[in-house]
Structure 1
Amino acid sequence: MQKTLSIIKPDATERHLVGEILAYLEKNGFTICGLKKIQLTKKQAEGFYAEHQGREYFERLINYMISAPVVVAVLSRENAIRKYRELMGATDPNEAAEGTIRKLYALNKTHNSVHGSDSEETAMQEIAYFFSDDEIVE
């Protein structure tokens, strides 16, 4: 089974949507193999989003991601990365398909409730950023 990383972002944790989003993931065939609620430090957020450094939105993104706790999850299923990206929906909830997480829960393009890995390589890096091997249970 393929694995991917999900982050339930500050706007969703502040609105107490963690349980709803996790239940929605399970109803859509994902198995939760690892789960943590954490308060990202500025250094952690900057490290995680390092590829965006230098872009005009970088500081806003970091401030948003440290504004409240996040929930990081390792998800597993066949074609997990592609399936999760489909279930997340477009970054802008106004453009997201009906029934996607962002259409259901996101507030706007910035406060879009969830993050998901975009490739197998990225998924492996992102999972390792938050989880050790012994924290992931099949």
Structure 2
Amino acid sequence: RILMRAARGALQLTLAVVKPDAVAHPLILEALHQKILQNFIIVRKKDLMWRTEDSERFYAEHAGRFFYQRLVEFMSSGPMRAYILAREDAITHWRGMMGPTKVNTTHGSDSVDSAKREISFFFPEFNADEWMSREEPRFRLGLTEYNEERQIHTLQDT
């Protein structure tokens, strides 16, 4: 049972995706998960596999660019892991941990608007506005624990 420290300011949500090449290597996947666990509140986690159509829809803004087809094929080539992460300045912090765009094994939202859109793509059942109003204050106060089985942080029973 791991309890979280309280945050000073409002929490921000971001999407983090571990790409197929990293998911294919269990030790890399576990190392990434541990790094995430040390630095973020894990709000949701999902293991999934995209069809080509899913990848095309997600990356539609890049259609016609030289890298589009290769990206679509790669992202639908194997299992992925998606996370909704929270912390102060989550977007900036996650992107800093990701490293350079061309060589990373992860994806991260680049703005608040992108995070909201991308989270709803990967987690259509999740309502970010509702989470921010109902759960964020309790998460911010550190009233959470880490659920080992589900590999996410949950609110403590009060």
TM-score after normalising by structure 1: 0.80
1:30-80, CA deviations, whole angstroms, 9 ceiling, x for partnerless residues? 011111110101111111111111111111001101111000100000000
Distance 2:119 2:126 in 1: 9
Distance 2:29 2:116 in 1: 23
Task: Show structure 1 runs of 5+ residues with no match.
Answer: 93-108
Q: CA deviation at 1:87?
A: 1.1
Which ranges of 4 or more aligned residues in structure 1 deviate by more than 6 Å? Answer: none
* Number of equivalenced pairs: 119
Max Rg structure? 2
Distance 2:126 2:22 in 1: 27
Distance 2:29 2:89 in 1: 23
Residues 1:35 and 2:45 are matched in the alignment: yes
Distance 1:26 1:76 in 2: 11
CA RMSD of aligned residues (A): 1.8
Distance 1:133 1:68 in 2: 24
1:86-123, CA deviations, whole angstroms, 9 ceiling, x for partnerless residues? 1111124xxxxxxxxxxxxxxxx3xx210000000000
Pick aligned residue for 1:74 from 84, 102, 110: 84
Structure 2 residue aligned with 1:133? 126
Structure 1 residue aligned with 2:134? none
Identity between Structure 1 and Structure 2 (%): 36
After superposition, residues 40-59 of structure 1 pair within 5 angstroms as 40-59=50-69
Structure 2 residue aligned with 1:103? none
Distance 1:19 1:31 in 2: 16
Distance 1:77 1:21 in 2: 17
Distance 1:133 1:40 in 2: 19
After superposition, residues 1-138 of structure 1 pair within 5 angstroms as 1-16=11-26, 17-27=28-38, 29-92=39-102, 109=103, 112-131=104-123, 132-133=125-126
Distance 1:7 1:68 in 2: 13
